[in-house]
Amino acid sequence: MAPTTPRPPRGLKPVLSALAIALLVAGCASSRGLAPEGRPLDADSLQSQRSLAGASDAAFPTQDWWTTLGDAQLNALINEALQGTPGLDAADARVRQAIAQAGLADAARKPTLSASAQYVGVQLPETLASPPLGGSYTDIAMLGLTFRYTFDLWGGEKAKWQAAVGQTRAAEIDAQAARLTLSSNIARAYVALAQAFDANDTAKADHSRAAQLLDLGRQRVAAGLDNQLQIRNAESAVASAEQQMQASEHEIEVTRNALAALLGKGPDRGRDIARPAVLDAPTPGVPGVLPSELLGHRPDVVAARWRVQSAQHGIKASKAAFYPSVNLAALPALAVGAGDLGDIFSGDALQLLGTAAINMPIFDGGRLRNQLMKSDADYDLAVATYNQTLVGALREVADALHAARSLDGQIVSATQARDAAQSAWDIATSRYRAGLGTQLDVLAAQRPLLELDRQLTVLRAQRLAASIDLDRALGGGLVITAPDSTEPNIAKASTP
């Protein structure tokens, strides 16, 4: 007798047949011709050696970079703010949202088992049905377990989960970036407060000089050496200095209010902030490393890179939707049911149902192609954002470095000019006291002195702000994890 070929179980034949038919018509819904266009820039291809030259001895900032400014009150203010503000709370809430979304995507990949219990009672009137059906009460009790699972044959569900994980990583880094932004904004506002106090000192010094000139003018008028014109000129200079004092005092109060708001507190908190100490402006420098390493410390760059990777997984998930799927949404469904509660656990009450479904997109009105087009566009947008962030980040580093170096030179020149102006004013005042010069000579010497005092106040504040900007541009000492940049070219991935 010839050997017989084993045959598959009868219940499996329909499944295999359906799968074969689905594979035959797989070309009806196709992703052919669709591919993303964006390509992430290689950071090291952005030439910056000449712009950042002479910075090889510098180190990256520490996580508490603001301590280099040398003010204990500033340290306390930033530490207070980092304990929690509405802005930080919002960033942390977005992280929790992203974590939950990743958890939902992960849960969709796993089997589920649920239990149910049901009791149904029915009594039909005899007007609708004759006895024994009519007029009697019938009840049914059911207990059931349902198992559901969808095979992730093409990795689409895993890709969705990986995309959600990428968004979570980006949100976590965004939360760190929010802390860096908050600390740098507080430091900048603190520098502005110091500048307002310095401007107030300048206005007071100018007021003192103008008042001395007014007293001298009155003495000379009383002695018959000058007329009222000199008195009026001196009075005008005193009034102008008083206006500058009032403006700087207003700036002090406004800046204190801004600091209180950054701390997440009411304006009264700002009144407790004392005058800043003399702040230090650290020597500017950038580590002599490749741009990829330099910018790998910046949270905005790394977060943008995570979003590129997330969008890449989104494309894979959209492509997987073009392939057949096997859904065991009700295999098996185990239940027991009986018309008498006493019989519900008997063997005769057992019910076992099994179903399997194979789904294959054929004609869907273009839904899948449009979804893939959207995923491609999301990827291109993420890449464009990353590239733009990369270029902008390198520019911020170069700008902050150049600003700090230029301001150091400007401060030296302005200080020399201010010393010369002070000497000229001293000479003009001495000559006026001795009757060898006029009040106009003194006023002419006072104007450049006042202007240079104001200019130095602004330059010193700008130099401190440049130090803050440089630390922030270098990532503020954050330690963050970037995604693997050696990923396959998704444009060349298999196409259904």
* Per-residue model confidence as pLDDT tens digits over 343-380: 555 555 555 566 666 777 776 668 888 888 899 999 99
| Chain centre to alpha carbon of residue 244 | 39
Number of domains in the chain: 2
Final residue of a structural domain among 333, 359, 385:
359
Does 117 or 104 have the greater pLDDT score? 104
**Same-domain check for residues 208 and 332:** no
132 prior amide bond cis, ω within 30: yes
What separation, in Å, do the N-terminal and C-terminal C-alpha atoms of the chain show? 46
Residue with tokens 């904004």: 185
| Closest among 62, 44, 52, 54 to 400, alpha carbons compared | 52
Is the pLDDT score of 333 beyond 60? no
Least confident of 63-72, 207-216, 270-279: 207-216
- pLDDT tens, position by position, 373-423: 899 999 999 999 999 999 999 999 999 999 999 999 999 999 999 999 999
What whole-number distance in Å separates Cα of residue 270 and Cα of residue 263? 9
Specify the CATH number for the domain of residue 126: 2.20.200.10
137 - beta bridge partners? Answer: 123
479/395 same-domain check: yes
Q: 118 - beta bridge partners?
A: 142
Q: Are residues 332 and 436 in the same domain?
A: no
C-alpha Rg value of the chain to the nearest Å:
39
Q: Do 431 and 349 have their domain in common?
A: no
Comparing C-alpha atoms, which of 389, 407, 405, 406 is closest to residue 475? 389
Instruction: Please report, rounded to a whole number, the percentage of residues in the chain having pLDDT higher than 90.
Output: 35
Q: Which residues contact 32 (CB under 8 A, 6 or more apart)?
A: 495
Residue bearing the bigger pLDDT, 318 or 137: 318
Q: Do residues 231 and 306 both lie within one domain?
A: yes
- Mean pLDDT within 447-467: 90
Asked whether the predicted pLDDT for residue 9 surpasses 80, the reply is no
CA distance 94 to 83: 17
Q: Any idea which residue has 């130099």 for tokens?
A: 463
Give the predicted TM-score (pTM) of the model: 0.81
Q: Both 74 and 139 in a single domain? A: no
Residue 26 banded pLDDT, cuts 50, 70, 90: very low
- Neighbouring C-beta atoms of residue 42, cutoff 10 Å: 11
Do 316 and 339 fall within a single domain? Answer: no
Question: Is 102 a domain residue?
Answer: yes
Query: Is 13 domain-assigned?
Result: no
Q: Which domain holds residue 350?
A: 112-151+325-359
Number of other residues whose CB lies within 10 A of the CB of residue 8: 9
Cα–Cα distances (Å) from 79 to 85, 264, 416, in that order, read: 11, 13, 38
Cα–Cα dist 234/403, whole Å:
39
Name the token pair of 359: 């789904």
Residue 492 reports pLDDT greater than 70: no
Distance CA 190, CA 253 (A): 12
